């Protein structure tokens, strides 16, 4: 995390007042991929990369937002929030202000400084960390308390509606509600959740393949359509199946023949992934790391073979990890077709794991990966 003292100093120098500072983390999903829109389960952890937001009141009626990462500022009248997105970084904090205003809150004149170390656009959800840090800082300044799930929904709406990026609730939810040394099992149906302990001796090593295959955009829509088709066919037999969350492998065995092959495979991924995700939380709760590793391995195979959302580079990254000492489990995380793998690694092996995985991946692909050693961290909080 960036230095809180340094952010205070920067804010003081620029705006003349010492801010209250909030930190909101990025995240990594340990298991549960493409299950969110099937009203299923996901199990992310907040990580120790975060965006800091420092906030103070102003006397001149304006809102001034400063991005220390870019040395840029955006300002406007508090009574006249921007109505349109601009296509740049300020959309994320402005989207949060607008969403608050739409919910009936009056945005006071304020100075907001943002400064983060979540890698941008690497799939660790720097965007959610900016939104959540902004929401926490601004609501505190307004003297308003918003509960965790409501804050997550508000930030998701800002990203969906103002920024114009479709994303589920997971990123914002865990950035608000995550806890140090815990993963968060989230039920995307009703947003109920429970925390499952990750042993302190385990590091979350995130390895960026540095590739994102261009099919990713279009394939997301095809996958969703296939999942919905499979669901409709199963629901003809069992109307209580509203989403694949409600279906079982037995349903698939009985009526799978009626579903076109691709859709059947996508459905098998979702149905088995939901079961693996809740089983993974139980494995953490019983400290059964071998079981957790197996579940992550099976999740990767299912994502690769049934959901067909992996790629050669991600499969290689997972395969190489499997041969290194200290690995508990590895799989491709995120939307698919590239991006990052998540590796649970015994902390004492983490540095060696990082350097060997990096060297071997580079040797095999010619690509220099980015690898981050992280730990499960607290959700948004006041710091300093
Ligand atoms: P991801 O969420 O996976 O990191 P996104 O494309 O969703 O990638 O969000 C990245 C964008 O979020 C950046 O391009 C930038 O506009 C904004 N952002 C992230 N971190 C910061 C920051 N510290 N300050 C200002 N804007 C940020
Ligand atoms: Mg994002």
Plot region of 370 (φ>0 → left; ψ -120 to 50 → alpha; else → beta)? beta
Query: In this prediction, what percent of the chain has a pLDDT beyond 70?
Result: 99
Residue 342 inside a domain? The answer is no
Residue 361 inside a domain? The answer is no
Secondary element (H or E) of residue 320: helix 312-322
Q: Is 51 in the pocket of ligand 1 (CB under 6 A)?
A: yes
356 class by beta-carbon count within 10 Å (0-12 exposed, 13-18 middle, 19+ buried): middle
- The enclosing domain of 136 has a CATH number of 3.30.230.10
Span from the CA of 126 to the centroid of ligand 2 (angstroms): 6
Query: In this prediction, what percent of the chain has a pLDDT beyond 90?
Result: 93
Residue 177 inside a domain? The answer is yes
143 class by beta-carbon count within 10 Å (0-12 exposed, 13-18 middle, 19+ buried): exposed
- Taking alpha carbons only, the member of 373, 339, 344, 356 closest to residue 33 is 339
Q: What is the pLDDT of residue 255?
A: 97
Domains contained in the chain, number: 1
Q: Which numbered atom of ligand 1 lies nearest the CA of 88?
A: 16
Q: What is the pLDDT of residue 131?
A: 98
DSSP 97-157: HHHHHHTTPPPPPEEEEEEE-SPTTSSS-HHHHHHHHHHHHHHHHHT----HHHHHHHHHH
pTM of the full structure: 0.96
| pLDDT band at 65; cut points 50, 70, 90 | very high
pLDDT digits (tens, 9 = 90+) for 266-279: 999 999 999 999 99
Across 30-41, average pLDDT: 95
Secondary element (H or E) of residue 190: none
pLDDT digits (tens, 9 = 90+) for 207-218: 999 998 876 668
Calculate the average pLDDT of the chain.
Answer: 96
Distance CA 126, CA 116 (A): 8
Task: Please check whether residue 265 is in contact with residue 279, taking contact to mean a CB–CB distance below 8 angstroms.
Answer: no
Span from the CA of 13 to the centroid of ligand 2 (angstroms): 30
Q: Which numbered atom of ligand 1 lies nearest the CA of 120?
A: 4
Residue 298 inside a domain? The answer is no
Q: Where are the beta strands (DSSP E) in 150-264?
A: 182-187, 193-197, 202-212
- Taking alpha carbons only, the member of 281, 245, 248, 277 closest to residue 39 is 245
Host domain of residue 141:
4-197+378-383
Examine the pLDDT at 121 and tell me if it is beyond 90.
no
Cα-to-chain-centroid distance, residue 149: 15
**Nearest-10 Cα torsion for 4, 6, 11, 12:** 110
Q: What is the pLDDT of residue 218?
A: 80
Return the bridge partners of 212, or none: 338
Residue 251 inside a domain? The answer is no
Residue 48 falls in the annotated catalytic set: no
Return the bridge partners of 205, or none: 343, 373
CA 115 to each of CA 13, 21, 65, 72, 259: distance values in angstroms, whole numbers, following the listed order: 15, 11, 11, 11, 49
Q: Is 89 in the pocket of ligand 1 (CB under 6 A)?
A: yes
Span from the CA of 129 to the centroid of ligand 2 (angstroms): 9
- Taking alpha carbons only, the member of 144, 77, 134, 168 closest to residue 380 is 134
Task: Please check whether residue 204 is in contact with residue 47, taking contact to mean a CB–CB distance below 8 angstroms.
Answer: yes
Residue 278 inside a domain? The answer is no
Residue 288 inside a domain? The answer is no
CA atoms within 13 A on the CB side of 25: 25
Q: Is 114 in the pocket of ligand 1 (CB under 6 A)?
A: yes
Q: Ligand 1 pocket: which of 120, 125, 172, 339 to mutate (most atoms <8 Å of CB)? A: 120
Q: What is the pLDDT of residue 369?
A: 98
CA-only gyration radius of the chain, Å: 21
Looking at per-residue confidence, does 145 or 301 come out higher?
301
Structure tokens at 221: 């829509």
Q: Which of 91, 171, 251, 378 is catalytic?
A: 171
**From 147-151, 163-167, 197-201, the region with the lowest mean pLDDT:** 163-167
Distance CA 165, CA 177 (A): 22
Across 41-69, average pLDDT: 98
Q: What is the pLDDT of residue 220?
A: 83
Residue 99 inside a domain? The answer is yes
Structure tokens at 29: 């999903």
Q: What is the pLDDT of residue 215?
A: 65
Q: Are strands 193-197 and 182-187 parallel, antiparallel or unpaired?
A: antiparallel
| pLDDT band at 240; cut points 50, 70, 90 | very high
Across 67-96, average pLDDT: 97
| pLDDT band at 63; cut points 50, 70, 90 | very high
Q: Is 116 in the pocket of ligand 1 (CB under 6 A)?
A: yes
| pLDDT band at 302; cut points 50, 70, 90 | very high
Examine the pLDDT at 303 and tell me if it is beyond 90.
yes
Examine the pLDDT at 158 and tell me if it is beyond 90.
yes
Across 365-378, average pLDDT: 98
Q: What is the pLDDT of residue 74?
A: 98
User: How far does the chain reach from its first CA to its final CA, in angstroms?
Assistant: 12
Q: Is 67 in the pocket of ligand 1 (CB under 6 A)?
A: yes
Q: What is the pLDDT of residue 219?
A: 84
């Amino acid at each position: 995390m960036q230095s809180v003292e340094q952010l205070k100093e920067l804010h003081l120098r620029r705006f003349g007042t010492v801010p209250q500072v909030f930190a909101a983390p990025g995240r990594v999903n340990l298991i549960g991929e493409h299950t969110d829109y099937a009203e299923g389960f996901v199990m992310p952890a907040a990580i120790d990369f975060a965006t800091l937001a420092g906030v103070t009141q102003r006397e001149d009626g304006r809102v001034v937002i400063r991005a220390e990462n870019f040395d840029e500022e955006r300002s406007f009248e508090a009574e006249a929030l921007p109505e349109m997105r601009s296509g740049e970084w300020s959309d994320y904090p402005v989207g949060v202000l607008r969403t608050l205003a739409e919910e009936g809150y009056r945005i006071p004149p304020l100075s907001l400084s943002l400064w983060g170390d979540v890698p941008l656009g690497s799939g660790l959800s720097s965007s959610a960390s900016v939104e959540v840090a902004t929401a926490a800082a601004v609501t505190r300044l307004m003297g308003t308390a918003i509960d965790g799930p409501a804050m997550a929904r508000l930030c998701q709406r800002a990203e969906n509606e103002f920024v114009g990026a479709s994303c589920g609730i997971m990123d914002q939810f865990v950035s608000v509600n995550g806890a140090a040394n815990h993963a968060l099992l989230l039920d995307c149906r009703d947003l109920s959740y429970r925390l499952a302990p990750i042993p302190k001796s385990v590091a979350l090593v995130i390895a960026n393949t540095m590739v994102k295959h261009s099919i990713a955009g279009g394939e997301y829509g095809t996958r969703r359509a296939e999942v919905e088709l499979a669901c409709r066919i199963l629901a003809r037999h069992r109307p209580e199946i509203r989403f694949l969350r409600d279906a079982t492998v037995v349903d698939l065995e009985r009526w799978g023949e009626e579903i076109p092959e691709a859709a059947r495979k996508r459905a098998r991924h979702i149905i088995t992934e939901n079961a693996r995700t809740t089983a993974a939380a139980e494995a953490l709760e019983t400290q059964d790391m071998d079981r957790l590793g197996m579940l992550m391995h099976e999740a990767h195979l299912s994502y690769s073979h049934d959901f067909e959302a992996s790629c050669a580079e991600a499969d290689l990254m997972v395969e190489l990890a499997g041969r290194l000492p200290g690995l508990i489990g590895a799989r491709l995380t995120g939307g698919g077709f590239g991006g990052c793998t998540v590796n649970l690694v015994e902390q004492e092996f983490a540095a060696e794991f990082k350097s060997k995985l990096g060297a071997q991946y580079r040797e095999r692909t010619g690509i220099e990966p980015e690898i981050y050693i992280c730990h499960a961290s607290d959700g948004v909080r006041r710091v300093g």
